[in-house]
């Protein structure tokens, strides 16, 4: 990334990583994988997230209930990555959900990245 681009990024005062793990996720049900509520009196710069699981699945990235990005992993690479630089006001929810279509339940995990301003 060029230095000029780095200078334009907001300074993140308190870097945050929120991780989540859900075991035995049933098929055909959109399930919350990890979520973060922006603390009162602050705002949050969402930088994205990542997710993975033991089977192929559809992962959705939401900010305040608005779908921002949809990713699908594959048998050859079970990881997905979301990227954004969106300022989120206080008390809004950022989350990643998962939905798979396997005939058995599977385990999934995910992480959200960003910083409190």
Predicted pLDDT at 105: 95
Considering the domain boundaries, does residue 8 fall inside one? no
HEC sequence for the chain? CCHHHHHCCCCCCEEEEEEEEEEEECCCCCEEEEEEECCCCCCEEEEEEEEEECCCEEEEEEECCEEEEEEECCCCCCEEEEEEEEEECCCCEEEEEEEECCCCCEEEEEEEEEEEC
The answer to whether residue 7 is domain-embedded is no
Residue 109 sits in a domain of what CATH number? 2.60.120.1340
Edge-first strand order for the sheet with 79-88 is 14-25, 106-116, 44-53, 79-88
Total structural domains within the chain: 1
Q: Answer whether residue 53 is part of any domain.
A: yes
Within a 10 A sphere around the Cβ of 64, how many other Cβ atoms? 14
Write out pLDDT tens, residues 83-92. Answer: 888 999 999 9
61 assigned to some structural domain: yes
In a domain, 65, yes or no: yes
**Residue 2 in domain:** no
5 occurs within a structural domain: no
Whole-number pLDDT of residue 6: 38
| Predicted pLDDT at 15 | 74
Q: How far is CA 3 from the centre of its chain?
A: 27
Where the chain has pLDDT below 70, the residues are 1-13
The pTM of the full predicted model, rounded to 2 decimals, is 0.85
Domain enclosing residue 57, as ranges: 13-116
The answer to whether residue 74 sits within a structural domain is yes
Q: What is the pLDDT of residue 40?
A: 87
């Amino acid at each position: 990334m060029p230095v000029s681009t780095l200078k334009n990024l907001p300074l993140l005062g308190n870097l945050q990583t929120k991780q989540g793990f859900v075991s035995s996720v049933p098929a055909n049900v959109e399930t919350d994988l990890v979520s973060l509520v922006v603390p009162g009196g602050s705002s949050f710069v969402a930088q994205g997230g990542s997710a993975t699981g033991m089977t192929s699945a559809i992962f959705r990235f939401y900010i305040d209930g608005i779908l921002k990005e949809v990713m699908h992993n594959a048998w050859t690479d079970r990881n997905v990555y979301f990227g954004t630089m969106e300022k989120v006001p206080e008390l809004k929810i950022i989350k990643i959900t998962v939905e798979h279509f396997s005939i058995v339940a599977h385990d999934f995990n995910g992480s959200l990245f960003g910083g409190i301003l």
